[in-house]
Amino acid sequence: MKRTHILLVVLIAVVLFSGTAQASLSTIGTATYNGQDYSLIYASDQHLVWLDYTRVVDTWSNQVSWAAGLNTAEVLTYNLNPGISVTWSGAWRLPATVDGPWVWGYDGTTTAGYNIRTSEMGHLFYTELGNKGYHDVNRNPQSGWGLVNKAPFANLQPSYYWSGTDYAGDPTGAWFFSFLLGSQDSAVTGSFYALAVRSGDVGAVPIPGALLLFVPGLAGIVALKRRMGRRG
């Protein structure tokens, strides 16, 4: 009976994931880091896996080194949900963003300012989490701005986070994103939070055709036994 339960759990997980894979954000499991478990959150439209861990404020170079260090063996232990597989296509890093001459704006077409969805954190804030920046595209302050929605993240802070993209206009600077205001800017000095992300594709673990026929039969047997037990 234990085997039956295990197979049923795997099948249910596969069905649930296949039904929710179109959703923008999905929790696919956890990663153990420094003895604690943190959610692994998959952004299907960008093919990114976010680690729901916010590192304490630090300089840009230290945060870059921290993210790279997550790729060292045994620093992270992955605990994927049943029936889930990940094909990694990159290493852990800080989120990337657009780079170019510093131009401030509000319509999302500039390198700095509000409503920029071309950066990975901006896309997460605006598109996937559905939040609003302090200013709309016409430069007007708007109600309901800020990190109002952050689920399924639990540790995302309404504050400033370094990106992994340095500023071409000044090699000593880098771009950062505000999860409070929804704005992007560059800085030469400063200490901000950090969030790690990794490229990859998430799918269901392939199940042999024979097993697909076997498991529903087991499910029917279990259901029948339960009904007979209640009648007795």
What is the domain count for the chain? 1
Q: Would you state the structure tokens that stand for residue 210, as one six-digit string?
A: 């024979």
Q: Which domain holds residue 46?
A: 2-204
Residue 155 lies in a domain: yes
Residue 176 lies in a domain: yes
Residue 212 lies in a domain: no
Question: Pick from 110, 119, 145: which is nearest to 131 by CA?
Answer: 145
Average model confidence (pLDDT) for the chain?
86
Which carries the bigger pLDDT value, residue 13 or residue 64? 64
What mean pLDDT comes out for the span 190-198? 97
Q: Look at residue 91 and tell me whether its pLDDT is greater than 90.
A: yes
CB neighbourhood size of 80 (10 A) = 16
Residue 90 lies in a domain: yes
